[in-house]
Amino acid sequence: MTYTDPSLHPEAPRQPERVVPERVVEVRRESSPLGWLVAGVVAIVAVIAVAFMLTSRPMDASSDQLAQAQEQGRAAGLVEGAQVGLQTGADQARQAAEASAREAASAAESVRRQTEIQAQTAADAAQDAAATAPTTTDGTAPSPQADEPR
């Protein structure tokens, strides 16, 4: 089955098709033994490392060295414990000082309030005494009055 484009008229002149020249691309692979040489050196080094690890034995620690290491561990533990104890003591002293400062401030505030109340009471008493005291016109103090017998 053929397909004919209805939009093209058979009488219409066709444009000539463009001819594109072919391009030929050659890929040349040059081989170099450098990659194989590096891989071989790495393999030889790996084999030597594995052989060295298998043949070498770890050093045996003597009992004196073990005892010395244990003693160093104990000393380090004691130092660390002492540091923790000092830090804890310092924290407790700081907390106690803060609590004492708060209590002293509270006590000072209480004393201040009591003093204000006493001063106000004394001022009120002085005003009452001044209001009830007899006055003289010549600016002298009044003479004491004798108690009247009943």
Is 102 part of a structural domain of the chain?
yes
d(CA 101, CA 78): 34
Non-local (6+) Cβ contacts of 133 within 8 A are 142
Give this prediction's pTM.
0.36
In a domain, 101, yes or no: yes
What token pair was written down for 127?
């005003």
pLDDT of residue 21: 81
Contacts of 142 (CB under 8 A, 6+ apart): 133, 134, 135, 136
Residue 106 is part of which domain span?
83-127
Number of domains in the chain: 1
Q: What pLDDT digit, counting tens, does each position of 23-72 carry?
A: 887 877 777 788 889 999 999 999 999 999 888 876 666 788 888 888 99
Span 107-122, pLDDT tens digits: 999 999 999 999 999 9
Whether residue 110 is contained in a domain is answered as yes
